[in-house]
Amino acid sequence: MIIDAHTHFTTAPLELQAYRGRQITDLGKPARAKLQISDEQLERSMQGQFKRMQESGIDRLLFSPQASAMGHHFGPPIVSRYWTEACNDLIARVARLWPDKISPVCQLPQSPGVSPKEWVDELDRCVKDLGFVGCNVNPDMAGGREPLTPSLATDWWYPLWEKMVELDIPCTIHASASLNPAMHLTNSYYIAHHNAAAVEILRSRVFKDFPKLKIIIPHGGGAIPYHWNRQRGMHVKEGLEPFEDVARKVYWDMAIYDKESMELLI
């Protein structure tokens, strides 16, 4: 079986974005989504995804909300929660319609400065009530501004790791939006944060404290395979475990888009 571990609902019906637009223009009056989206609309929105699966020989998608649209920096925590619930509920509908093709992955109602203790309940809901098999975790909820998000190496994140181990599910570390105008969203910010996530996790004691934790670093870890010796050197200099060993404690997805880069990553 060939599984695409990194797919997003980039083709979601426009009603979802219309709700988000209303949210952002009226952040002071948050309201839960009441989306009127038919099964037929969802089927039309998925045709491109299924065509790609057929052409590429893919059997199953790990399917999550659009990462760049998670936008955890918008408004107070309740705004993030309502938006997250709307996105996850729609992913759950797609998974129910095509259970032979789709495994659902959720986003989380993260918000700048808000502890994971306050939002892991949505992970519980998605896994236990809706049958989700994983989650996306934004390592920088504030988009580079204050309040700055603690490093993934710190115990600030431990309530999330504890819940993931309890539920026995993986997460993909996936940035969302940069508020720094000097950083292009995908070509700079995503690469920087997925690289940084790998560096922080692999130099920490996270896997000593949570040996059963399952973490996926997307896009090949950004620049990790191209700066392998730099990582090795840092681990030697700081007296850490050999990088070759700790690099095997996470999973690296292959969304790096060309054969040569995939071979280098392997």
pLDDT digits (tens, 9 = 90+) for 94-127: 999 999 999 999 999 999 999 999 999 999 999 9
As a whole number of angstroms, the distance between CA 205 and CA 113 comes to 23
pLDDT value of residue 90: 98
Least confident residue range of 45-49, 57-61, 97-101, 218-222: 218-222
pLDDT value of residue 235: 96
As a whole number of angstroms, the distance between CA 206 and CA 250 comes to 11
The pLDDT confidence band at residue 185, using thresholds 50, 70 and 90, is: confident
As a whole number of angstroms, the distance between CA 149 and CA 71 comes to 14
* pLDDT at residue 256 greater than cutoff 90: no
Three-class SS of residue 3?
A: strand
For the segment 215-230, the average pLDDT, to the nearest whole number, is 90
Closest to 138 in 3D by CA, of 194, 206, 208? 194
* pLDDT at residue 265 greater than cutoff 90: no
Cβ within 8 Å of residue 118, ≥6 positions away: 77
As a whole number of angstroms, the distance between CA 90 and CA 212 comes to 30
- 148: tokens are 């700055």
* pLDDT at residue 150 greater than cutoff 90: yes
- Asked if CATH classification 3.40.50.300 holds for the domain at 3-265, the reply, yes or no, is no
Residue 13 Cα distances to 16, 19, 164, angstroms: 6, 11, 30
pLDDT value of residue 186: 85
Beta strands 134-137 and 102-106 are parallel
Query: How many C-beta atoms lie closer than 10 Å to residue 45's C-beta?
Result: 19
pLDDT value of residue 187: 84
For the segment 123-139, the average pLDDT, to the nearest whole number, is 98
* Averaged pLDDT score across all residues of the chain: 94
- 58: tokens are 């893919």
Contact call for residues 189 and 178 (beta carbons, < 8 A): yes
- 78: tokens are 């309740």
For the segment 249-258, the average pLDDT, to the nearest whole number, is 90
DSSP 66-79: -GGG--TTSSSHHH
State the first-to-last Cα distance of the chain, in angstroms, to the nearest integer.
19
For the segment 140-166, the average pLDDT, to the nearest whole number, is 95
Domain extents for the chain?
3-265
* pLDDT at residue 266 greater than cutoff 90: no
For the segment 192-206, the average pLDDT, to the nearest whole number, is 92
pLDDT value of residue 44: 97
pLDDT value of residue 86: 98
As a whole number of angstroms, the distance between CA 207 and CA 149 comes to 20
Helix (H) or strand (E) holding 77, with range, is helix 77-97
Closest to 62 in 3D by CA, of 98, 36, 101, 89? 101
* pLDDT at residue 226 greater than cutoff 90: no
As a whole number of angstroms, the distance between CA 114 and CA 108 comes to 12
DSSP 19-79: HHHHHHHTTTS---------HHHHHHHHHHHHHHHHHHT--EEEEE--GGG--TTSSSHHH
pLDDT value of residue 132: 98
pLDDT value of residue 190: 86
The pLDDT confidence band at residue 133, using thresholds 50, 70 and 90, is: very high
* pLDDT at residue 129 greater than cutoff 90: yes
